[in-house]
Amino acid sequence: MKDRLKRLCFILTTLLLILGARLIQLQIVQGKRYARLSDRNRIRKIVVPAPRGRIFDRNGILLADTRPTWTIAIIPTETNDSALALLSILLNRPQNELLRRLQPVSEVPAPIDILRNVSFDVIAKIEENNFRLPGVIVRVDHIRNYPFRNLYSHVIGYVGEITEEELSRDSSYRLLDYIGKTGIEVCYERFLRGRDGYKYVEVDARGREIGPLTEKRPEPYLPGKDIYLTIDHNLQQTAYNLISKYERAAVVAIAINTGEILCLVSFPDFDPNIFLAPLDPLQWNALISNKSKPFYNRAISSAYPPGSTFKPLVALLALEKHLITPHTQLLPCNGIFQYGNRKFKCWSAHGRLNLIGAIEQSCNVFFYQLGTKIKVDTLAEFCHKFGLGKYTNIDIPGENAGNIPDHDFLDRRYGKNKWTQGFMLNYCIGQGEVLVTALQLTQLYSCFANGGFYFRPYLVAKIESAGRTILINKPQRFEVEINQTNLNWIKNALTRVVEYGTGQAAQLQEITIAGKTGTAQNPPNPDHAWFVGYAPADNPEIAIAVIIENAGHGGAVAAPIVGELVRYYFTKRTLP
- Catalytic residue list: 308
Cross-strand pairs, 252? 264, 545
- Give the integer Cα–Cα distance in Å for 9 and 488: 117
CA distance to 56, 117, 283, 389, 547, per residue, from 249 (Å): 25, 33, 22, 21, 6
Cα dihedral sign, 99-103-106-110: negative
The full length of the chain comes to 576
- Give the integer Cα–Cα distance in Å for 98 and 85: 9
Helices (H), 152-192: 164-169, 183-187, 189-192
Rg (CA), the chain: 34
- Give the integer Cα–Cα distance in Å for 317 and 387: 15
- Give the integer Cα–Cα distance in Å for 336 and 298: 33
Q: Are 518 and 494 in contact (CB under 8 A)?
A: no
Per-residue 3-state assignment (H helix, E strand, C coil) for 89-146: HHHCCCHHHHHHHHHHHCCCCCCEEEEEEECHHHHHHHHHCHHHCCCEEEEEEEEEEC
DSSP secondary structure string for all residues of 18-54: HHHHHHHIIIIISHHHHHHHHHHHHEEEEEEPPPPPP
Q: Helices 95-102 and 81-91 meet at what angle, rounded to 10?
A: 120
| Structure letter (DSSP) for residue 298 | T
- Give the integer Cα–Cα distance in Å for 1 and 351: 142
